Structure formats: structure tokens, C-alpha cells
Amino acid sequence: MALLVQKYGGTSVGSIERIEAVADKVVAYKDQGNDMVIVVSAMSGETNRLVALAQEISPQASGRELDVLMTTGEQVTIALLAMALEKRGYAAKSYTGGQAKIVTDNNHNKARIKSIDHQNIQRDLDAGRIIVVAGFQGVDEESNITTLGRGGSDTTGVALAAALKADECQIFTDVDGVYTTDPRVEPEARRLITITYEEMLEMASLGSKVLQIRAVEFAQKYAVPLRVLSSFEEGEGTLITTDYETDKTMEQALISGIAFNRDEAQLTINGVSDTPGVAYQILGPISDANIEVDMILQNVGADGSTDFTFTVHRNDYETAMASLEKTANQLKAREVRGNNRIVKISLVGVGMRSHAGIASRMFEILAREGINILMISTSEIKISVLVDEKYLELGVRALHEGFDLKSE
Ligand code: ADP
Ligand code: ASP
Ligand code: MG
């Protein structure tokens, strides 16, 4: 007998028929003798609908009230799934994040889980109940409702699995595993049997939304066995695991996957003086405005002046631009330029560590397609390039083919 934590995403609970199908699946696992904790998302499209309602009232709605609003989506699905389980003759109990005692910090809209007191859930499990927990939500120390950032139900699943010491955390979604790249962009993408936590972390942070990055961080930190599977069809899915196990079982691939991010925007300030403190003068106000900077590039100075380029999330483009223009005036810079029609494409693989020449091969493939690279950044296990958004599909497919990632 095992304890399984299963998370079902928005599409998997997107209609009454889908919720009934999930209930059938869950009772089949229960009948095999497993203890079951189920985490569900809101029905697909619901969180977006709620956000749009808030926007109609006020684009500046407070984080606290947004959280009160957004968490209603998951409250609907926990109740419906628990009812569907009861209808099948199984004892089930729904829990909101607060009832599950998922305590977070008070950072509304992107709260972090601090602790989970799982005593009540454990007691209900021991009594044979199937537990249904609302994903994406918690409460802070003052009982304010919080949310964990978009896609946060994955993190609820992994955190519960860690707290309850579950045998596996299974993320059921609308694809049957983690692929070499998003199968919606490259239909010939290949499902990975395993991927390391480290690579999955990199893929998630570079834009692969199949798992929320914090869920992977949590799984790695607490060594939670994590699997991504389809809720629509049977299969093994993809196991996220440690380097060690992967190395033992198979030869390490050079590249595991290609991630991309459509949310990028680039800003450049030209002709600032090449003196100590300039980077701080430019980026200080950006960080004060709570804007996260991703890639940064400073040119080699010439004639006492230099250029400085960085990227931010597209949603922050206008605010960052306004801040940069102010800084440019103060620094008497020559000009400020920006581009919010760009995307980032990244190659990810722990196999890169021991192989030279991957970057140049990447640049060669992109050059052959006539794709101009706007910016480059590398780390031990990834190479990212910034390109015009019109080249996203072409670039991803060319790299997928060029690095031989297709299905056998
Ligand atoms: P859920 O609602 O179940 O949480 P998501 O939409 O958040 O589902 O995540 C699943 C989606 O992630 C897939 O439909 C797919 O388009 C996308 N995706 C992006 N990169 C990958 C990848 N490398 N492998 C599999 N799916 C990916
Ligand atoms: N419903 C939330 C969202 O759409 C959380 C999730 O689905 O994981 O972001
Ligand atoms: Mg998701």
C-alpha cells in the first residue's frame, strides 16, 4: 500500500464529465489499496476569468482581494470532486488551503509555503477517507488568504507530498509527460522517460510551464519523487529524479530539452559614462520598482562611454522604460531603446557540462535559418538566445532537429 498525492490541472477538471473521469481514476487507485490525497486546480479558464473580472473593477486591485477572488476557482472543484467521490460510495473530504493548514508568508499573489500542519489530513487518511485539497492557495499567519503564483497547484501537490512523506507526487495534466520541447510548438517532440531535478528546474525557469518552478524546487529540496502524467490516457509519464539515478541507467544525453519564453522585453541605454557605479545607477531604480531583471549585458567601454542592455518581463516593459528614460536624463545618456517583441529560446542539458562546442552549433543552426541573435547568456547547463518573436517556432524546430531530439 502506498500514499499517493495526485494533482489534476485545469483541463483535467475542466467540465463535469472531466471531474467524473478524475473521480473514476481516483477510486481505481484507492481500490488498489492506496491512500489518496488529491490536489485540484480551478476548471480550465476559470482563474483567467476571475482575473479579468477584477480588471474590470480596477487594474490596481489589491493583492489581498485578488487572492480572495482567485481562490474561489479551486473551492468549486474540491467540492465537486468530493461529491463525485461520495456518489461512488467513497468517504471523501474537501479541504481549502486554510483548512489544510498550509501556512504561507504574506506575499499576496506569489506567496511561499512556510509550513503545513498535516495532522487533520493524516487523521482523515487513517480513517480511510480520500482527501481533496484546493491547489494554489494557503493562508498567512493572520489567516489572510494567499495564492502561490500562477500554476501554483503543482507546488501545493509537491508540498503536501513532502509533508505527508508520500511515496510519489503525480502531476496529471493534458500531456503525457515532459517532452524535449513543448509539443504544441514541435509536434515531433519526444517524451522523456526521466529528467533530472536540475534540468527540470532550468526548463521551468526558462519558460516550460508544464511544472511550476517552485514545485520542482520543493521536490528537489525534500527529495519528493515527482512524475508528470496524462489524465486522459494511461502511461508511465516522466519521472523527475536525481542526476545519479539517471546517470546509472542511461547514457547522458547532451541536450535534454528546449525551453522558450514569450514574455521577454529588452531595454538598452546607449552612451553612458564608463565609470564605477553606472550599472547600479541604471538597475537600482528598476529593482526599486520591484521589477526583476533577467539577462544583462554591458559592452566593453570605448572613449570613456559604454552601452548597457537588459531584459525584463513583458508586463514590466512600460514601467521599466519610464524608469530608464528618467535615469538616461540624469546620466546624460545618448539614447534609450526598447523592444518588446522578442522571445528567449534555451537549450538545457546537464550533458553540456562535459561537452564544448554546443553554443557554436546552436549559433550555426540559427544562422542557417537566417535568425539573428539579439543577446546570448550561458550557464553550465543551459544556453539562451534572445530572438525576434517571429522566429520562435522556426528557431525551436530548427534546434530540435539540429540537435537530433526528435522521436526515434
Ligand atoms: P495544467 O493545467 O494541467 O497545470 P499546464 O498548461 O500548466 O497544465 O501545463 C501543461 C502544458 O505545458 C502542456 O499542455 C504543454 O503545452 C506545456 N509545455 C511546455 N513545455 C512543455 C514540455 N517541455 N513538455 C510538456 N509540456 C510542455
Ligand atoms: N488555477 C491556478 C492558475 O490557473 C493554479 C493552477 O492551475 O495551478 O494559475
Ligand atoms: Mg500548470
258-273: pLDDT as tens digits? 999 999 999 999 999 8
Please state the atom number of ligand 2 nearest to the C-alpha of residue 152.
8
Residue 148 alpha carbon to ligand 1 centre in Å? 18
Mutate to test the pocket of ligand 1, among 38, 48, 174 (most ligand atoms within 8 A of CB): 174
- In the chain, which segments carry CATH 3.40.1160.10? 3-174
What local confidence, expressed as pLDDT, does residue 23 receive? 98
pLDDT for the residue 245: 53
Residue 123: pLDDT above 90?
A: yes
Spacing, Cα 44 to ligand 2 middle (Å): 8
pLDDT of 29 above 50: yes
**Cβ(151) to ligand 2 under 6 A?**
yes
- The per-residue pLDDT for range 322-372, each reduced to its tens digit, is 999 999 999 999 999 999 999 999 999 988 887 888 999 999 999 999 999
**CATH 3.30.2130.10 domain span(s) along the chain:** 258-402
Q: Is 10 in the pocket of ligand 2 (CB under 6 A)?
A: yes
Confidence band, pLDDT 50/70/90 cuts, at residue 243: low
What is the Cα–Cα distance from 299 to 302, expressed in whole angstroms? 9
Cell numbers representing residue 40 in the block:
485540484
pLDDT at 252 over 70: no
| Protein residues within 5 Å, CB atom, of ion ligand 3 | 9, 151
Residue 147 CA to ligand 1 center (angstroms) comes to 20
Domain 258-402: which CATH number of 2.60.120.260, 3.40.50.150, 3.30.2130.10, 1.10.3470.10: 3.30.2130.10
Q: What's the average model confidence in pLDDT over 62-78?
A: 98
Q: Which CATH superfamily is domain 3-174 in?
A: Acetylglutamate kinase-like (3.40.1160.10)
Question: For residue 231, which atom of ligand 1 is closest to its CA?
Answer: 3
Residue 136 CB less than 6 A away from ligand 2: yes
In this predicted model, what pLDDT tens digit does every residue of 283-309 receive, in sequence order? 999 999 889 999 999 888 788 889 999
Least confidently predicted of 68-82, 169-183, 187-201, 288-302: 288-302
Distance CA(130)–CA(35), nearest Å, equals 7
Query: How far is CA 273 from its chain centroid?
Result: 38
Higher pLDDT, 90 or 243: 90
pLDDT score of 240 more than 60: yes
Question: What pLDDT, on a 0 to 100 scale, did the predictor assign at position 248?
Answer: 47
Q: Is the CB of 97 under 6 A from ligand 2?
A: no
